[in-house]
Amino acid sequence: MTIADNSRAFELGSRVVYQVYIKSFQDSDGDGMGDLRGITSRLDYLVDLGIDCLWITPFFPSPQNDNGYDVSDYCAIEPIYGTMDDFDELSRQAKARGLSLMLDMVFNHTSTEHEWFRKALAGDPRYLAYYKFVDAEPGATADDPGKPPTNWESKFGGNAWEYVPSLNKWYLHLFDVSQADLNWDNPQVREELAGVLRFWRAKGVDAFRFDVVNLISKPERLEDDFEGDGRRFYSDGPHIHEYLQELVRLGGIDGLMTVGEMSSTSLESCIGYSNPANHELGMAFNFHHLKVDYPDGEKWALMEPDIAELRDLFARWQQDMTAGGGWNALFWSNHDQPRPNSRFGNTESHWYESSTLLATCTHLMRGTPYVYQGEELGQTITDFTSIDQYRDVESLNYYRILQERGLTADEAFAVVHARSRDDGRTPMAWDDGPNAGFTTGEPWLGLCGNYPTINAKTEMADPHSVRAYFKRLIALRKAERVIQAGDVRFLESPADKVIAYERTLDGERIVVQCNFSGEEQPALELDGGEILVSNYDEAAQTSTLRPWEGTARIWR
């Protein structure tokens, strides 16, 4: 059943979100790290691109063990990023330009430096109940704490439980040891977090992104996982929908633009999260399509992307989310992913085509597109040559773990170089000057060496640049109702490396074809229509798709 006439689809489907990784976007004071004033100084750049909403990664007080996703105070500003006055000015300037601000809420865990956790460590029973603490076995000591409550693995490597000798308890940390999981079964915790939303709503914030939010509801019974790393027990947990509905209601955010990052989720769960009838979230991120180059599901190993699987995943999520009344967040890239053009394309021989193919593929789908800073420029993965150049805690941990598993140092580095989150965190390339215009100081993370040619200043002056192509796609989404809210159906592919689908609405039809290979591939046999967009300048062919070609034809 079609829901193409749903007004919500037109509203969400006409908007485009831009993600800023604050530490790497623009430095205003020369300390080598981006900040709030830096973002304010670049708002006109985003307006020119056609952006509607600006998602900013966490800028709250934090020890920065996970670059801000270890929050020690939800209602203040980390001094390295500025002051509350700086935020208020950013908010005023954004609203003056018609830009919404989307704040990043890390509600699955806090930093172990958060006041709540400090009080828990001091033995305060109220705050012990704020976290997932479990008593140790009798006789446990600091030297021999015994067996952890479960064998679950941390996302960053190692066991997911940490022993606290002074309490004779273990606490759960699904991520870094400095990120203690909150106990959402405690209604006081849920009220505290709803209060955080009310605080920022009162400051004019009108959009929210929720980090790994489908992990917040843990099972009552803790058990070992002998089939995986434990995620099947806590992903999309037993009370997740109940807790999200309560958070939205108490936080006063029902009807706002919201998105949940869903780790190892299911399609059925995401329909529930994003169907407006449930009053949970506006849309959902899922990451299944970004695992098609994980051999046997293993992130820290390498293989060529399986395009047939990619096509099947896109088809299922696009078509079934539409049928179920859900809504997709469309993306290739974020602060946790390597640059996608280097990953799914060939940036050595077909940099422009690879960068624009990916945008063509997702920007014409049903959902809300997200652009990650520098993606619109075609920024690539790093050209780092030493592990000492990396800063990401996950990458450094796995460089060690991979060698413990038997890889040589060079082999481990090759995996980290392809998979590291730092691949997407190098500073934004603004121009071809010193440090790419990002900072007058020493950048916190090294720049990619190709910034003299791949940068915003150069591309804004070139009507045929990657950025110009992104700008055109964004304009098309705002102009074409069939892109905003049309139904979606995936078509039988003419070749293994080709993804093809159609959008339809009120007699209009768009057919999109994308060649995910460096070789020519057969195209669908199509009659009539006109080229809506193509990433090749020459007249589009009808029988063949050229290397990394993305094209769309429309019938009106």
Stretch 337-365: mean pLDDT: 98
Average pLDDT over residues 409-426: 97
Q: How far apart are CA 511 and CA 202, in angstroms?
A: 44
| CB within 8 Å of 250: residues ≥ 6 apart | 190, 191, 194, 197
Contact (CB, 8 A) for 184 and 244: no
Give the span between the Cα atoms of 91 and 45, in whole angstroms. Answer: 16
Residues pairing with 364 in the sheet:
none
C-alpha distance from residue 131 to each of 110, 186, 272, 349, 401 (Å)? 9, 9, 27, 51, 28
Name the superfamily (CATH) of residues 7-108+185-382+456-472: Glycosidases (3.20.20.80)
Average pLDDT, integer, range 289-309: 97
pLDDT at 3 (0 to 100): 45
Question: Is 486 strand, coil or helix?
Answer: coil
pLDDT (average), residues 4-17? 85
Q: What are phi and psi of 319, to 5 degrees?
A: -75, -45
Asked if pLDDT for residue 454 goes beyond 50, the answer is yes
pLDDT of residue 7: 85
What contacts 7, CB < 8 A, 6 or more positions away? none
The CATH homologous superfamily for domain 485-555 is Golgi alpha-mannosidase II (2.60.40.1180)
What pLDDT sits at residue 283? 98
The answer to whether 88 and 203 have CB atoms below 8 angstroms apart is yes
CA 23 to chain centre: 15
Say yes or no to pLDDT of 488 above 80: yes
Amino acid at 431: D
Q: In what order do the strands lie in the sheet with 550-555?
A: 487-490, 498-505, 508-515, 550-555, 530-534
- The one catalytic residue in 176, 181, 206, 211 is 211
The residue-averaged pLDDT of 339-344 equals 97
How many residues are present in the chain? 556
**CA 226 to the chain's CA centroid:** 29
Give the whole-angstrom CA distance, residue 70 versus residue 49: 31
Residue-wise pLDDT tens digits, 98-157: 999 999 999 999 999 999 999 999 999 999 999 999 999 999 999 999 999 999 999 988
Task: Assess contact for 366 and 486: CB atoms under 8 A.
Answer: yes
Nearest by Cα to 20 from 342, 424, 351: 424
**Whole-Å CA distances, 383 to 39, 301, 473, 550:** 26, 19, 29, 27
Q: What's the pLDDT score for residue 540?
A: 67
Q: State whether residue 509 is helix, strand or coil.
A: strand
Q: What is the CATH number of domain 115-181?
A: 3.90.400.10
On whether the CB atoms of residues 84 and 200 are closer than 8 A, the answer is no
- Confirm whether 492 is a catalytic residue: no
pLDDT at 2 over 60: no
Q: What crossing angle do the helices spanning 187-202 and 240-251 adopt, rounded to 10°?
A: 40
Q: Which of 66, 246, 261, 293 is catalytic?
A: 261
Domain ranges in the chain are 7-108+185-382+456-472, 115-181, 485-555
DSSP of 156-195: TSSBSEEEETTTTEEEE-SS-TTEEEB-TTSHHHHHHHHH
Residue 261 annotated as catalytic: yes
- CA pair distance 111, 121, nearest whole angstrom: 13
